[in-house]
Amino acid sequence: MSSVQVIQIGPLAPHLNSLLQQQYGAVALWEQDDALTWLQENGADARVIVTSARNGCSAAVIDALPQLQAIVSFGVGYDSIALDAARARGIQVSNTPDVLNDCVADLAFGLLMDASRRIAQGDRFVRDGRWLNGAFPLTTRVSGKRLGILGLGRIGEKVARRAEGFDMQIAYHNRRPRDGAPWRYESDLLALAAWCDYLVVTCVGGPETEGLVSREVIEAIGPKGILVNVSRGSVIDEDAMVQALENGSLGGAGLDVFRDEPRVPPALTRLDQVVLAPHMASGTVETRGAMQALMLDNLRVFLDTGKVLTPVL
């Protein structure tokens, strides 16, 4: 087994698993009884790890592969990959950016719309036969409201473009202003939260942003404000958010990501002002196909040239 060149950390779509095995001889690490022992015994010549934003790649895996040169990941997020360990070894890391921007932004705006207009709640209201007993409560208009974006990257920009179609006022918070961005920059996240009607979280995950949407930020959004997250669950103080939703100090939320997926705080499932999605922002046929193609291109080009196409490192 010392001739293994490609190791796959965790499962992807079944047809993609088969393709990786048949074309590249990829070994399914998740099928091994003891993954680290298997790597130490069989990974001496492995050059590439194939993984995903969900499955990641630990420092222990990197340390077990002396010839590892690239980590090719399916997904835009890379906070689950031990970047410091990869950087120390000069290992390239690639992701699949840009191809999922539109679909993630679509879902972010869909969650915003749903949390405001209570579409999912209205669906339950009709299905349960409650309409026969009276009218549905009034909801909140979206058009013309104030939108704050935490993390004006590629996805955040797409959200802002969609908000322009709703005549919304737009401001954003980054570590620094983004060159050429036509929207107002707010250097203080707390001030942005106090100003906006909606705070949409589209920043990267990882240690640098963990808990960035703190209890204070959540309270600043206020009892009429709505928090939307399509980034990572770790960015929000989830306990503080749940408490604020329960006591009414936060008006509502639209959430596609959670701190301990797929486990969701039970309290959230009981709240009508919260819209829950199962980390599905990039989950369209078109986007997943484009992500798979780009991941395979990164793998193929690296094996041919020694350089990935879309490097994170």
User: Which residues are the active-site residues?
Assistant: 232, 261, 279
Length of the chain: 313
The token duo for 32 is 């091994």
- Per the CB < 8 A criterion, the answer to whether 299 and 24 are in contact is yes
Backbone angles phi, psi at 161, to 5 degrees: -60, -40
Backbone angles phi, psi at 225, to 5 degrees: -90, 160
Rg, the chain, Cα only: 22
Angle at CA of residue 35, ends 30 and 37, nearest 5°: 160
Dihedral sign for Cα 114, 116, 121, 125, please.
negative
Place of tokens 């990641």: 56
- CA dist 299 → 47, 303, 307 (Å): 11, 6, 9
Q: How far apart are CA 230 and CA 245, in angstroms?
A: 18
- Per the CB < 8 A criterion, the answer to whether 65 and 87 are in contact is no
- Give 3-state DSSP helix, strand, coil % of the chain, rounded to 5: 40, 15, 40
- Per the CB < 8 A criterion, the answer to whether 100 and 292 are in contact is no
- Closest listed residue to residue 163, CA positions, set 182, 176, 186, 188: 182
- Per the CB < 8 A criterion, the answer to whether 73 and 81 are in contact is yes
